[in-house]
Amino acid sequence: MELNKIHNIDCLDFMKGMAENSVDLILTDPPYGMSFQSNYRQVKHEKIVNDTNLEWLPEFIESSHRILKDDRHAYFFCSFHNVDIFKQAIQKHFEVKNILVWAKNNTGMGDLEGDYAPQYEFIIYTRKGNRKLNDGRASNILSYNRTGNINHPTEKPLDLFSFLIRKSTQESEIVFDGFIGGGTTALACKMLKRNYIGCEISPEYCKIAEERINSISNTLF
Amino acid sequence: MELNKIHNIDCLDFMKGMAENSVDLILTDPPYGMSFQSNYRQVKHEKIVNDTNLEWLPEFIESSHRILKDDRHAYFFCSFHNVDIFKQAIQKHFEVKNILVWAKNNTGMGDLEGDYAPQYEFIIYTRKGNRKLNDGRASNILSYNRTGNINHPTEKPLDLFSFLIRKSTQESEIVFDGFIGGGTTALACKMLKRNYIGCEISPEYCKIAEERINSISNTLF
DNA sequence: ACTACGGTTGAATCCTGAA
DNA sequence: GTTCAGGATTCAACCGTAG
């Protein structure tokens, strides 16, 4: 299996070709299973539609569990809208240890009068076996500023990914992300001397991710 | 229906005698469906055990929906451990608008090496119909300090309850809490000139709650 | 009135040893 | 084997007391 590459392919197909017990961490920000488009945004990203089903989820979780080594961790982002469905799909295979709250610095949009403003996303923290976390005890509320979604409409802070990778892996271990989008997982891995394997179904985001990764080739860190 | 009283009775039984569309807000902190005891505690509260079932939940939610007026809100506390079960039971009857995060000032105990430290609890925010929230837009992360569990082992901050009651009711409306414990809901209602109806199955906590409520009788606020 | 300091806490979970 | 009871444990925040 070639390391440190982003494959332009549906991750469900790609994972079929991966050996079981072959990666050290799953860290992924999959589609949340809700139709999503921000119209009030300067740089309009491609509209994400036809995305209100979660049919892919059970197979994705099962495959994730299969390719992950024993005594390893897996993190799955999700929103509160479908947290019940995600949690139940995940706990068929993994032990759900916690649900982390990524607290953003700013609030999102949505119902202005009848609802509370969304200020977080969930990260379901799970285990296969029982590896410990590195670097002492951390809270299950993680405050990281949003970066501005330059590379992808649902881009997550690099710091946040770096933090999770450091908590759950050692150097030179392999991180898998089936929905790598703008390549944040790959970038964090490169900076932290971890190996990555990524999938991204969109050729455009593959290209963006590749450019991001190459752009730090000659940067000291 | 007599107002501003805490009834020493199982709320499932009590609610059978309540008229439909008779209260203006449900705000309750039910058992989370997990066995727990803090051993590192000087004033040991009674151990909560044999509490790992949620058989009461569907009927409680159904009755809650029945007694609530149209165009009103309901809040149900829960932890991440069973948030999937709570959410699915609730959304059979209510519209789940959001899942609020009560961020505490301190972290809890638990797995010290293999898990993130628990620092929040969930509050599932739901509607029957579509009343708006008062006082402008608030975040779905609510930061309130723990008060010290003087009156009940799982006591919640009075500020937090006051905040939610103000967001979702007007003066003289009726708030129902089926698991009122140390009486925080009643206390907040009294201070905010709302009416309350409470149930508490334990005679001891009924007494404690009553004393708390009476103790502010002559206090100016 | 303010600071310093020591004591106590936490909607847990793991582990060990007894039954 | 299997279940169950009880002890040990982090660490930042808070409280009371002493100075």
Taking only the tens place, the pLDDT of each residue in B61-114 is 999 999 999 999 999 999 999 999 999 999 999 999 999 999 999 999 999 999
Q: Could you tell me the CATH number of the domain that includes residue B95?
A: 3.40.50.150
In terms of Cα–Cα distance, which of B187, B184, B178, B148 is closest to B31? B178
Helix (H, G, I), strand (E, B) or coil at B214: helix
Listed by range, residues with Cβ under 7 angstroms from strand D are: A 136-137; B 39-40, 49, 105-107, 109, 112, 117, 145-146, 148
Please state, for a pLDDT cut of 70, what percent of chain B lies above it.
91
Q: Do B101 and A100 touch (CB under 8 A)?
A: no
B43 touches strand C (CB under 7 A): yes
Which residue in this structure is represented by tokens 């929230």? B133
Which chain A residues have a beta carbon less than 8 Å from that of B114? 97, 127, 130-133
**Which among A119, A125, A139 has the least Cβ separation from residue B107?**
A139
The residue that minimises its CA distance to C1' of C9 is B41
Strands (E), chain A: 5-7, 23-28, 68-78, 95-103, 120-128, 141-143, 174-177, 195-199
**CA–CA separation, B220 vs B217, rounded Å?**
8
**pLDDT tens column, B18-49:** 999 999 999 999 999 987 766 655 555 655 55
Cα separations in angstroms, A26 against A134, A173, B188: 16, 11, 45
Residue B112 and residue A137 in contact, taking contact as beta carbons nearer than 8 Å: yes
Question: Which one of B141, B166, B168 would you mutate to disrupt binding with A, by most A Cβ within 10 Å of its Cβ?
Answer: B141
As a rounded value in angstroms, the CA-to-C1' distance for A95 and C13 is: 14
Q: What is the torsional sign of CA A27, A31, A33, A37? A: positive
Please state, for a pLDDT cut of 90, what percent of chain B lies above it.
86
Residue B193 has pLDDT above 80, yes or no: yes
Max distance between CA atoms of chain A, in angstroms, equals: 51
Instruction: Work out the average pLDDT over B139-157.
Output: 93
Residue B47 carries which DSSP code? P
Q: Do A115 and B101 touch (CB under 8 A)?
A: no
Q: What is the pLDDT of residue A39?
A: 47
For residues B77, A130, A159 and A108, what is the CA-based torsion angle, rounded to 10 degrees? -20
**CA–CA separation, B96 vs B127, rounded Å?**
7
Angle at A6 between CA A60 and CA A161, to 5 degrees: 75
Which chain B residues have a beta carbon less than 8 Å from that of A97? 111, 114-116
Q: What is the pLDDT of residue A107?
A: 84
Residue type, A144: Y
As a rounded value in angstroms, the CA-to-C1' distance for A165 and D5 is: 38
The domain tally of chain A equals: 1
Residue ranges making up the domain that contains A171: 5-220
Q: What are the helix (H) ranges across A54-100?
A: 57-67, 83-90
Closest CA–CA distance from residue B198 to any residue of chain A (Å):
26
CB atoms within 10 A of CB A95: 14
pTM across the whole model: 0.94
**CA–CA separation, A189 vs A175, rounded Å?**
8
Inter-chain Cβ pairs, chain A and chain B, closer than 8 A = 101
Which chain A residues have a beta carbon less than 8 Å from that of B137? 107, 112-113, 116-117
Q: Which residues contact B204 (CB under 8 A, 6 or more apart)?
A: none
Residue A198 and residue A183 in contact, taking contact as beta carbons nearer than 8 Å: yes
Interface of A with B in 129-168 (CB under 8 A): 130-133, 137-141
pLDDT, one tens digit for every residue, chain A (221 residues)? 899 999 999 999 999 999 999 999 999 999 998 865 554 444 445 544 445 689 999 999 999 999 999 999 999 999 999 999 999 999 999 999 999 999 998 888 899 999 999 999 999 999 999 999 999 999 999 999 998 888 999 999 999 999 999 999 999 999 999 999 999 999 999 999 999 999 999 999 999 999 999 998 756 55
**pLDDT tens column, A107-162:** 888 999 999 999 999 999 999 999 999 999 999 999 999 988 889 999 999 999 99
**Which among B99, B117, B137 has the least Cβ separation from residue A80?**
B99
Residue B195 has pLDDT above 70, yes or no: yes
How high does pLDDT run on average in chain B? 93
Q: If pLDDT is split at 50, 70 and 90, which confidence band does B162 have? A: very high
Q: Which nucleotide is nearest to B179 (CA to C1')?
A: C11
Give the tokens for residue A110: 């949505």
Helix (H, G, I), strand (E, B) or coil at A53: coil
Residue type, B22: S
Q: What is the pLDDT of residue B148?
A: 79
As a rounded value in angstroms, the CA-to-C1' distance for B79 and C7 is: 29
Cα separations in angstroms, B58 against B30, B96, B151: 13, 15, 28
**CA–CA separation, A62 vs A66, rounded Å?**
6
CB-based contact, A111 to chain B, within 8 Å = yes
Cα separations in angstroms, B127 against B97, B121, B124: 7, 20, 10
